Structure 1
């Protein structure tokens, strides 16, 4: 039966190696924090914080992330709110915000209302 390898940490070389590892970890964490701050402070990150956070987790450079953020739409929440408002308006038979009802829509809504749809019964 073979015994597992256990490194000897009592030698001066092992202690120096551990100190170097700890130093390297501190430096890597500092560099990672600096990169995170740099990405979130980009002017292109304004209104795109969630995307900036996701791109930070990638291995892309700051310049690549800047280009990706510049190409992305700014306010995704406003877009999703508009989509939700349109869906609610369509469900109610109303004209979605920013659109004019088509002739077909007007005919369908008039037909549904004539049959009693969309009207509350007391």
Structure 2
């Protein structure tokens, strides 16, 4: 009997189609569109490290953001698969936000961008 990983698996790195300048540029453009917005990166940095924060905690951590904008940015990141929304069915209702594993994997990439920006100085 063969195991599942022999039947179905990812293509080895060498067999993947390499990026062309056009596909690389469009891929990066899609990521930038996903992260654009005045507050998304600020929200991300508050959630890095596996923290789960309630909506009110995020409001207090980012006092300059309006409730409407915070809700909008969290919903967009949830739709994009970066943020997860956890609803605890209790009274009063409790909703927590955290990063998905894919969202958490942004941390090294953003750290690299920060180091890149610091190198200019």
TM-score (normalizing by structure 2): 0.26
Larger radius of gyration: 1
Larger relative contact order (CA 8 Å, sep ≥ 6) = 2
Structure 1 or 2: more helix by fraction:
1
Structure 1 or 2: more strand by fraction:
2
